[in-house]
Homo-oligomer: A and B are copies of this chain.
Amino acid sequence: MTSVKEKQIKILENGKVTTPKGFQAGGVHTGLRKTKLDFGWIHSEVPATAAGVYTLNAFKAAPLQVTKNSLDKTGKIQTLVVNSANANAVTGPQGEKNALETQKLVAEKKGVEVDHVAVASTGIIGVQLPMEKLYKGINWMDEAENQGAERFESAILTTDTVTKYAAVEVEIDGKLVTISGAAKGSGMIAPNMATMLSFITTDAAVERSSLEAGLRQVTDKSFNMITVDGDCSTNDMVLVLANGLQKNQTLNESHPDWDLFLNGLQYVSQDLAKQIAKDGEGATKLIEVQVKGAGTDKAAGEIAKAIISSNLVKAAVYGSDPNWGRIVCAVGYSEQPIEVDKVSIALGDLQVVENGLPIDFDEEAGTEYLQQEMVTIHVDLQNGAGEATAWGCDLTYDYVKINASYRT
Contact = CB atoms under 8 A, between A and B. Distances in A.
Interface of A: 55-59, 90-92, 124-127, 188, 191-192, 194, 229-234, 309-312, 315-316, 318-319, 321, 323-326, 328-335, 338, 340-341, 353, 356-358, 395-397, 399-401, 403-407
Contact of A58 (B326, B340, B406): B340
Interface core residue of A57, A333, A356 (most chain B CB under 10 Å):
A333
A125 B327 CA distance: 11
17 contacts: A58-B331, A58-B333, A58-B338, A59-B340, A92-B341, A92-B356, A125-B325, A126-B328, A192-B326, A229-B310, A231-B312, A315-B400, A321-B406, A395-B400, A395-B403, A397-B401, A400-B400
A309 to B, nearest CB: 8
A239 B374 CA distance: 43
A231 B310 contact: yes
A315 B312 CA distance: 16
A326 B192 CA distance: 6
A91 B315 CA distance: 24
A230 B311 contact: yes
B312 A233 contact: no
A126 B331 contact: no
A231 B333 contact: yes
A311 to B, nearest CB: 4
Contacts of A57: 329, 332-333
Contact of A312 (B127, B334, B403, B405): B403
Q: Please classify the interface of chain A as helix (H, G, I), strand (E, B), loop, or mixed, using the class held by over half of its residues.
A: loop
A59 B315 CA distance: 21
Given A58-B340, A59-B340, A312-B403, 6 more contacts: A92-B357, A191-B323, A191-B324, A194-B329, A396-B404, A397-B401
Contacts of A92: 341, 356-357
B315 A404 contact: yes
Given A400-B399, A401-B397, A231 B318 contact: no
Contact of A358 (B126, B323, B328, B333): B126
Contacts of A232: 329, 332-333
Contact of A311 (B311, B312, B329): B311
A137 B353 CA distance: 31
Contacts of A231: 310-312, 326, 329-330, 333
B358 A192 contact: no
B329 A234 contact: yes
A168 B381 CA distance: 47
A229 B310 CA distance: 8
Contacts of A401: 397
B404 A319 contact: yes
A386 to B, nearest CB: 16
A146 to B, nearest CB: 31
Contacts of A333: 55-58, 231-232
A325 B126 contact: yes
A405 B321 contact: yes
Contacts of A328: 59, 90, 125-126, 192, 234
Contact of A125 (B329, B330, B407): B329
B397 A400 contact: yes
Interface core residue of A58, A127, A192 (most chain B CB under 10 Å):
A58
A234 B312 CA distance: 14
Contacts of A406: 319, 321, 323
Contacts of A323: 191-192, 406
B234 A318 contact: no
